Amino acid sequence: MSLSIQELEKTVAELTAPGKGILAADESDGTIAKRFKGVNVASTEETRRDYRELLFSTPGLGDFISGVILFEETLKQKTAAGVPLPQLLTAQGMVPGIKVDKGTMPLPGFPEEKVTQGLDGLAQRLSEYKQLGARFAKWRAVIAIGAGLPTPQAIAANAHALARYAAICQEQGLVPIVEPEVLMDGDHTLATCARVTEEVLHAVFHALHQQRVALECMLLKPSMVVPGSACLKQVTPQQVAQATLTCLRRTVPAAVPGINFLSGGQSEAAATANLNAMNANAERQPWVLSFSYGRALQAPVLKAWRGEAANKIIAQQALYQRARLNSAARQGKYTAAMENE
């Protein structure tokens, strides 16, 4: 076995550790500015650093969080005391990762659909990120559901980009997280989401096979199968779990070690309850089913923090609580009553 494969497998083993999930703290400058605006905090390099240092230094967070996805700026920042943020994560027992895509752009010829950019120069960027401490990476593709959407061409274009990214990551010694997000926006039904998600995952794994990606050395970050946010018929966590697991069994090879769901606009409690329903399912699944949440872990933290240093402890307690509840859901042991403990 080559050293690079051993290195990748070690990272996968740490990221899929029992009872743990991944914190997505890789918001772009535009996204974090929106989140900060919601709590009346100006988005500056300093406030972004202070906030993320607050997240990463939460006492005991490493008990529930195995890895953290960073934005490029964060990977290069230091704490107020001068410690590089990746080193702070490592000291907490968490693996540093990095978002490497450059965002979406309109897909030429398909004005209502998008494709993710960032493959140019990716190998060189990954080499630099690895030197800065990153051990895994993430690339997000966005698939919209609507009248006549998604088109096969948009699915294929995004699947190809995800697979090329994953192959380049593995060549550079970083574990790729492959994120095909089927958006919740719209009034589509659970059944429609299931059909589209199945099509997307089939295309993604076909592309990964074509690009010779080692499935044992990657993680999948899909959206759950849920109705559109404007759908009049919402469903129970058990229905979400059944639809999602059926879709995954049809599309995701057993060689993939872990599936870390994105929260994708679900409320904090819904994202936790839906994950729990999947892990409470009596049938044994071939993959670890965990979380890679951003807003669903951070929303209570931002509300508590509001940019005030005096609120640091209560904000960290909010993150610890949310991470603890999702750790319980990762084990199928979460109950709604735990929200008030």
Model confidence pLDDT, tens digit, residues 69-123: 999 999 999 999 999 999 999 999 999 999 999 999 999 999 999 999 999 999 9
- Per-residue pLDDT averaged across 163-169, rounded? 98
221 catalytic residue (yes or no):
yes
In the prediction, which pLDDT does 284 show? 83
Which residue type sits at 272? Answer: T
User: Pick from 113, 112, 130: which is nearest to 122 by CA?
Assistant: 130
pLDDT at 121: 98
Q: Please compute the mean of the pLDDT values over residues 265-273 and round it to a whole number.
A: 97
User: What is the rounded distance in angstroms from the CA atom of residue 10 to the CA atom of residue 6?
Assistant: 6
233 labelled catalytic: no
The whole-chain average pLDDT of the chain stands at 97
Confidence of residue 276 (pLDDT cuts 50, 70, 90): very high
pLDDT at 2: 66
Distance CA 155, CA 143 (A): 7
User: Distance between CA atoms of 235 and 319, rounded to whole angstroms?
Assistant: 27
| Whether pLDDT at 125 is above 90 | yes
Q: Which pLDDT score, from 0 to 100, does residue 4 have?
A: 86
**Of the listed 113, 181, 221, 268, which one is catalytic?**
221
| Annotated catalytic residue, options 27, 72, 113, 179 | 179
Residue 1 predicted with pLDDT over 60: no
pLDDT greater than 90 at residue 341: no
Average pLDDT over residues 260-270: 96
Nearest to 123 by CA among 62, 164, 94: 164
User: In the chain, pLDDT over 90 holds for what percent of residues?
Assistant: 97
- 3-334 is classed in which CATH architecture? Alpha-Beta Barrel (3.20)
Residue range 141-156: mean pLDDT, rounded: 98
Who's near 22: CB < 8 A, 6+ residues apart? 15, 65, 66, 67, 68, 69, 97, 177, 260, 290, 291, 292, 293
What does pTM read for this prediction?
A: 0.98
- The answer to whether residue 11 scores a pLDDT higher than 80 is yes
| 261 contacts 19 by C-beta, under 8 angstroms | no
User: What digits encode the pLDDT tens for the residues 199-228?
Assistant: 999 999 999 999 999 999 999 999 999 999
Q: Which residues pair with 27 in a beta bridge?
A: none
